[in-house]
Amino acid sequence: MKAIHIISGLSDGGAEAVLYRLCSEDKSNTHTVISLTEEGKYGPLLRIKGIQVYQLNMPRGCVTLSSILKLYRLLRNLKPDVVQTWMYHADLVGGLVARLAGTHKIYWGIHASSLETGKSKWHTIAVAYTNALLSRWVPTGIICCAERAQQTHQQLGFAVDRFTVIPNGYNLDHFKPDSESRKKLRAELGINEQTLLLGCVGRFDPQKDHHNLLAALTIIKQNGVSFRCILVGRDLNGNNVQLVSWIKQYDLQDEVLLLGQRTDIPAVMNALDLHILSSSYGEAFPNVLAEAMACGTPCVATDVGDAAYIIGHTGWTAPPSDAGLLANAIHSALVCYSNHDEWQSRCVAARNRVVETFGLEKMIAAYHAVWGNNIRP
């Protein structure tokens, strides 16, 4: 099967990472990727894996006629068996152009669990509602990465009978327990094995709610807990004036280390004792939870998207945007951490949860099953 993927961009994000894993590890089909904007982080990485990548260089937030025509010609020339689009803007533009180009199998991809006025961008909300109106005509099916995302979009008016949920899958040879990586990164950071190390991996963005995380951490500190916490992701560095001011506000200068964006995320997850997701909205299937758990690192997470489903009984959850309740969840985790045998059981259970439920092979097989369905009349 010849599959063409159309995505808004190929920067460093969760949906982009899933696309990369799907295309690079699926050996049964031929994959081509078209980015509506730039090739970003994943364009070169896909090419290294032998995946053909095209970029249309559309300006952000603007659809140009020349790009539409280029996309139409590409689809006519490449003659895909299936077109898989990723995220709202690509669902709309890619789906319509693919339909006009004569493609019979078109699957939209939804990778957000909520849209909130004042938080989500207005044009993103507008595109999502437009897609709801078109969902009975354009896509053969709609693939969501999370149950919460499916429920939200059905309530928005998307065609109920088009949906399939395919959880994200992970390379478990890449994300796995690794004591040597743990020791090496801790040594690099000057953190010994006896120090409790917390961490949060995710770009600086209102959605990730680092302010709430820092507020919860100061409660933990006031309760007499000694710890260090690393923040990893885009713009999580000393040049971030807002973030630095929050750290000073909460008197966490000695506890919080800003590491910025890194490429050794498996080593980061292994170095941690506990990973914390503090997002307040917008998450569908938070990849960092499964990545941490695959490395044997238990998680505390706010109840956004499918976070609670991912964690299962291996970790702890708290409502979003409530520092006190997030601190309570972290405290519960630390009570468990103080019992060595109980904590080790948690670490094993976290790894097993991902192995049994979120393996990459399962995700690829699920996409194969959906793409192989009969063509919708």
> Quick check: helix, strand or coil at residue 59?
coil
Q: Give yes or no for a contact between 156 and 250, defined as CB atoms under 8 angstroms apart.
A: no
Would you give the end-to-end CA distance of the chain in angstroms?
20
Where does the pLDDT of residue 375 fall: very low under 50, low under 70, confident under 90, or very high at 90 and above?
Answer: very low
DSSP secondary structure letter of residue 117: B
- What is the number of other CB atoms lying within 10 angstroms of the CB of residue 90? 24
Residues whose CB is less than 8 angstroms from the CB of residue 154 and which lie 6 or more positions away in sequence, other chains included: 160, 163
Q: Residues for the chain: how many in total? A: 377
Q: Give tens-digit pLDDT for 46-73.
A: 999 999 999 999 887 778 899 999 999 9
Helices (H), the chain: 14-25, 42-48, 65-78, 88-100, 122-134, 147-155, 179-189, 210-222, 241-249, 265-271, 287-294, 307-311, 323-337, 340-357, 360-371
Among the listed residues 171, 161, 166, the one whose alpha carbon sits nearest the alpha carbon of residue 136: 161
pLDDT tens digit string along 189-243? 999 999 999 999 999 999 999 999 999 999 999 999 999 999 999 999 999 999 9
Q: Which two tokens stand for residue 39?
A: 């090739």
Q: Is 9 exposed, middle or buried (0-12, 13-18, 19+ CB in 10 A)?
A: buried
- Decide: residue 49, CB within 10 A, 0-12 exposed, 13-18 middle, 19+ buried: exposed
Q: Which of 326, 331, 327, 274 is nearest to 297 (CA)?
A: 274
Amino acid symbol at 276: I
Most confident of 109-118, 144-153, 263-272: 263-272
Burial per residue of 294-319, b for 16 or more beta-carbon CB atoms within 10 angstroms, e otherwise: bbbbbbbbbbbbbbbebbeebbbbbe
Backbone angles phi, psi at 216, to 5 degrees: -70, -40
Confidence of residue 120 (pLDDT cuts 50, 70, 90): low
Region of residue 295 (left: phi > 0; alpha: psi -120 to 50; beta: else):
alpha
Nearest in space to 216 (alpha carbons), one of 173, 259, 250, 255:
250
Pair of tokens at residue 269: 């997850």
Give every CB contact of residue 68 below 8 A, 6+ residues apart in sequence: 93, 97
Question: Global pTM?
Answer: 0.88
No. of helices (H) and no. of strands (E), the chain? 15, 13
Q: What is the pLDDT of residues 274-329, one digit of tens each?
A: 999 999 987 889 999 999 999 999 999 999 999 999 999 999 999 999 999 999 99
Q: Each residue of 327-353: pLDDT tens digit? A: 999 999 999 999 999 999 999 999 999
Of 350, 278, 283, residue with least CA distance to 319: 278
Give SS3 for 235. Answer: coil
> Rg of the chain's alpha carbons, rounded to an integer?
21
What does pLDDT average to over the chain? 94
115 pLDDT higher than 80: no
- Is it the case that residue 167 has pLDDT exceeding 90? yes
Cα–Cα distance measured from residue 370 to residue 192, given in angstroms and rounded to the nearest whole number: 48
How many other CB atoms are found less than 10 A from the CB of residue 137? 10
Q: Residue 77: what pLDDT?
A: 96
